Amino acid sequence: MSSPRRRIETDVMKMLMSDYEVTLVHDNTPFEGGLWKVHVELPDQYPYKSPSIGFVNRIFHPNIDELSGSVCLDVINQTWSPMYDMFNIFETFLPQLLRYPNPTDPLNGEAAALMMREPKNYELKVREYVQKYASKEAADEAGAESEDDDDMSSVGSFDVDGEGDEDEDEPAGQMDDV
């Protein structure tokens, strides 16, 4: 069996080379027509440990945190197997999550309660979110904001000693030959 690192590299390369896009055809759910950007984080133990999955733009769903976009870990872990790869996430897992929300194991209590008590109002609110946050323009904007957030987390220009960039071209230390 290949190493987890090799498997990560292989799965990511397959996704990058495929120019992958998922479309729910004849969806008949309130999510129909929505376009979401998805963040997938692969742990070092992948494929033996499930990936973390999050929606970059907002979505109103019982098993997805509305603000962070995180998908309920129980939902992922219940179905995850090392036999799955990245394509399974996009071809099977995410479409199933949108088609069959589980309001009994919610990350978004408001969505779960509305789905169970007032299904018509739940569908209206989902459609409102799709229109407002899941159009092509909104998805592109959310993706750009996500990239900006990554840039803001950089500490590369932090000046510890307050002396500016005088030593910028000097090495930080000696590198040992391996």
Q: Is 22 a catalytic residue?
A: no
Residues in the chain: 178
Q: What is the largest CA-CA distance in the chain?
A: 66
Non-local (6+) Cβ contacts of 11 within 8 A are 42, 46, 47, 85, 86
Beta bridge partners of 40: 53
Structure tokens at 32: 């129909």
Which of 53, 64, 71, 72 does the annotation list as catalytic?
Answer: 72
As a whole number of Å, the end-to-end CA separation of the chain is: 27
Mapping DSSP to helix (H, G, I), strand (E, B) and coil, where does residue 54 land? strand
For the chain, helix, strand, coil in percent to 5 are 45, 5, 50
Residues labelled as active-site residues: 72
